[in-house]
Structure formats: C-alpha cells, structure tokens
C-alpha cells in the first residue's frame, strides 16, 4: 500500500484564509479605538457631539473586539483593542464607583431637585408629590410655561416652597427656581441659546447663603447649533472662592462624555450623581422613542458642599426624569 500525503495548501490560499479572519477583526477593533481617541482628546466636530452622548454604550460594546481578537489569535489586534477598551472603561467606570471625597459631611442637610417640564406639560401633581415626599427645599425647573406655573400653584407648590425667582415663558425657554427659604437677589438671565435661567441667593436656615441657578444650555440637536451649545456651557457660572458656594442644576443637554461639561465641572464643581455612584442612571428620553437613554440632567455642586445621595424619578408627560440630590451645606 502506498501512502500519498495530501498536497500542501498553497501559500496564497493560506494568506487569503488568514485575511478573511484578520480583516473583520480589525474592522471590529477600529471603531472603539477611534471613539476612545476622540473621547480622550475631547475633540468632537459635527455630528460627533451627539454621538459622544452614547459613549457608555460603546464602552460596553468595546469589550467584544478584544475577546474575538484573542480567540482568533490576532495578538496585535487584541492589544490595540484592549487599549481602546481601557480608555473607554476608564472614562465611564468612575460614574458607578462612589467617591471617597463627597465633600463636607457635617452641616445643614438639604435636598434639591431639578425637572425639565417639556414645554410646561409635565404633570404638576407629580412634581409637587416628589417635593413633598423627598422633603425638597430647593426646586429648579426648566421649560416652565405660564400655564405650568399656574398648575403648580394649584397643586400646592407655593405652600411647600413659598419663595421663588421665576422666568416662565411659553415654549421651551421658561425657567423657575422655588425655595423653602428666602431668596435674595433673585433674577432671570437669558443665555446665548435663548433659554432663560432663573437664579438667586438662598438663605438656608442654620447655614450660609448658597447661590442657586436653574441651568438650561442650548441643545446640540443640529450640527449648526454646536457652537452655541459650547458657548452656553462655557458661560455657565462657576464658584468663586471668596463668595458663597454655588449649586447649578438642570438640563445641561450634555453627558459627562462631553468635554465642555467636564471643563465646567473642573472649574469648581462636582457632579452629584457621579459622586454617589449614580452617574450612569439615565434621565432622557422617556417619551417612547427608541433612542438609547442617556444622562443629561445634572446637579452640580460647589466642592464646599457635601453630597449624600442622588435619586432619579419619572414624571408623566415629560421626556426627562427628575433628579433629586441630598446635600450638606456648611457655614452660618
């Protein structure tokens, strides 16, 4: 019997077979790596501003390419994929890890809340119920219309929070600030994007004064609006070391993956949700759309203010969820 060895596979055939695996692996690796570079550099031209809001989802997906690369023994691709994954995970993971430094633990405990009313249509009774059940002492509202203001009064908000600085207006531009404590220097300013922002100095009983503002920068819903969105975020007020501490809360139309919001926070704030490990709890959109949900409503607190807890609550007839933050204010 004569044994004949099978003919060896020609080198070109082996090369083509290898390419059939290598090319798809690199195709999967490249998007996460490019995303990681953009997120790390903070450079987001055009439609990338909107896409960056979904970085948390890309970070989760980025775990897949290195596994596939390792399984197919594409070592270079695996190494590159792991770098991209590491960058994205490092950007996202801190939001679910409570900070050791949450600011002062001793002082007067207060609870604040922010809610975007979506053209004034949010259910006023739910907002008043959340204020009552969470013992909210400061409430910031965006898209507050005259009708919504009247409905909130009818629902009993003025009885719970009798002091206010209001800039209600039809449409999406209205703003409001309500407080259990007296408000001095209350006023309303219109930002470059056309939204009003109510603000004032709240005299917290047993503690020092706190400057509070209802934030609502322009939304980067179109590429042409990106410059205005950046300008609005850059123009938001920041804490002054020689002045009262600040609380800036509202609909920022930005996630923590947007460089302008991170720059604002770096100027003296901490994000309350990220500080307590709740930074990935989404707040928008909740109106039946299939758009992946993201976190664009924030409570930013001066680093001289302590953060104890954050929770997010549904409100009927608006696409935003309300954010409630338990804080500690010192001084007096």
Per-residue pLDDT tens over the stretch 236-289:
999 999 999 999 999 999 999 999 999 999 999 999 999 999 999 999 999 988
Distance CA 214, CA 218 (A): 13
Q: Provide the pLDDT for residue 2.
A: 56
Predicted confidence at residue 283, as pLDDT, reads 98
Question: pTM value?
Answer: 0.92
Fold of 101-329: Deoxyribonuclease I; Chain A (3.60.10)
The pLDDT of residue 7 is above 60? no
Name the residue ranges covered by the structural domains of the chain.
11-95, 101-329
**How many other β-carbons are positioned within 10 Å of the β-carbon of residue 311?**
18
Task: Please report which confidence band the pLDDT of residue 18 belongs to, taking 50, 70 and 90 as the band edges.
Answer: low
Q: Residue 21: pLDDT above 70?
A: no
Question: Residue 10: its pLDDT value, please?
Answer: 52
> Would you say 152 and 146 are in contact if contact means Cβ atoms under 8 Å apart?
no
Place 230 in a pLDDT band, splitting at 50, 70 and 90: very high
SS3 1: coil
DSSP-H helix ranges across 93-184: 124-133, 146-155, 157-160
**How far is the C-alpha of 195 from the C-alpha of 215, rounded, in Å?**
9
Q: What is the mean pLDDT of residues 107-131?
A: 98
Under the banding of pLDDT at 50, 70 and 90, the label for residue 4 is low
Mean pLDDT estimate for the chain: 93
pLDDT of 87 reads 96
Tell me, rounded to whole angstroms, the distance of Cα 29 from its chain centroid. 27
Percent of the chain residues past pLDDT 70, beyond the cut: 93
Task: Give the per-residue pLDDT at 19.
Answer: 61
* pLDDT of res. 1: 54
* DSSP-based three-state secondary structure for 295: coil
């Amino acid at each position: 019997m004569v044994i004949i060895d099978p003919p060896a596979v020609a080198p070109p055939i082996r090369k083509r077979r290898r390419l059939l695996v290598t090319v798809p692996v690199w195709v999967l690796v490249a998007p996460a790596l490019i995303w990681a570079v953009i997120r790390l550099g903070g450079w987001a031209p055009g439609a990338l501003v909107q896409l960056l809001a979904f970085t948390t989802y890309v970070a989760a997906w980025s775990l897949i390419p290195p596994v596939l690369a390792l399984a197919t023994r594409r070592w270079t691709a695996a190494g590159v994929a792991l770098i991209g994954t590491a960058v994205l995970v490092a950007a996202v993971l801190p939001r679910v890890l409570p900070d050791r430094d949450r600011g002062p633990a001793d002082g007067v405990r207060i609870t604040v809340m922010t809610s975007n009313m979506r053209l004034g249509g949010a259910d006023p009774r739910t907002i008043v119920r959340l204020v009552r059940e969470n013992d909210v002492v400061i409430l910031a509202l965006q898209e507050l219309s005259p009708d919504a203001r009247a409905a909130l009064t009818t629902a009993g908000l003025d009885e719970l929070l009798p002091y206010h600085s209001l800039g209600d207006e039809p449409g999406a531009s209205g703003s409001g600030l309500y407080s259990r404590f007296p408000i001095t220097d209350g006023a309303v300013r219109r930002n470059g994007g056309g939204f009003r922002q109510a603000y004032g100095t709240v005299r917290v009983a047993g503690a020092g004064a706190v400057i509070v503002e209802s934030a609502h920068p322009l939304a980067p819903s179109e590429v042409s609006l990106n410059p205005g969105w950046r300008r609005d975020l850059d123009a938001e007020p920041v804490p002054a070391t020689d002045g009262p501490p600040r609380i800036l809360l509202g609909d920022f139309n930005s996630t923590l993956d947007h460089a302008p919001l991170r720059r604002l926070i770096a100027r003296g704030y901490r994000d309350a949700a990220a500080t307590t490990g709740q930074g990935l709890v989404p707040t928008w959109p909740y109106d039946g759309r299939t758009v992946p949900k993201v976190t664009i409503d924030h409570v930013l607190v001066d680093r001289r203010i302590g953060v104890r807890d954050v929770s997010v609550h549904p409100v009927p007839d608006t696409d935003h969820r309300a954010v409630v933050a338990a804080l500690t204010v010192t001084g007096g």
